Amino acid sequence: MSKNKLTYEIDFDFKLFGLISYAKDYKLAWLINEHLGINLVKDDDLKIHFVKNHHILVSNFKFETEHSIFRLLKNKAVEFSNPKKTFLLPELPDFDYFMIVQGFDASFQKGEIKKQLSAIKEIQLLNVFKPENLTSKENLIL
């Protein structure tokens, strides 16, 4: 009997911003809304499943337009089933939040987003990552 092999390539077509901030998630979402002129709202926490029935629950704020989706995700899980897996991106444990921006329209350019986020004094550090270079990039497929 012949075996078929299914191969696929995941497209990580989004911008990923890592944020270090002492602010609570709802406060940071409000500050980002003020600076970017968007409306991030609390959405259901995201449940990410791993092998062996392990999972994490991650705080999730979302704003969607016709051409773009913005998500603010907390790196540290609000709930987890394995004490060794408590981060959304375990290779970046120092970052408190990640902002994912999918799609762009004329009003949202990467450089402008970075500039506006940098202006928020509650964000101590801002970094832009290439998702395809991360070990646990599959955790970002939402």
For residue 89, tell me if it sits in a domain. Answer: yes
Say how many domains are in the chain: 1
Note the Cα 59 to chain centre separation in Å.
10
The most distant pair of C-alpha atoms in the chain lies apart, rounded to whole Å, by: 63
The whole-number pLDDT of residue 129 equals: 92
The whole-number pLDDT of residue 14 equals: 86
Residue 131 belongs to a domain with what CATH number? 3.30.310
* Pairwise CA distance, residues 73 & 29, whole Å: 10
For residue 53, tell me if it sits in a domain. Answer: yes
DSSP-assigned beta bridge partners for residue 60: 43, 73
For residue 2, tell me if it sits in a domain. Answer: no
For residue 6, tell me if it sits in a domain. Answer: no
For residue 4, tell me if it sits in a domain. Answer: no
Q: What angle do CA 56, 48, 81 make, to 5 degrees?
A: 30
* Pairwise CA distance, residues 87 & 54, whole Å: 12
For residue 49, tell me if it sits in a domain. Answer: yes
The whole-number pLDDT of residue 43 equals: 95
DSSP one-letter code for 43: E
Range of the domain at 89: 14-140
The whole-number pLDDT of residue 8 equals: 55
Mean pLDDT for each consecutive 10-residue tract of the chain (142 residues)? 65 86 97 96 90 86 92 91 83 95 70 91 95 85 73
The whole-number pLDDT of residue 111 equals: 78
Pairing mode, if any, of strands 41-49 and 69-74? unpaired
DSSP-assigned beta bridge partners for residue 14: 102
- Give, for 63, the enclosing helix (H) or strand (E): strand 55-64
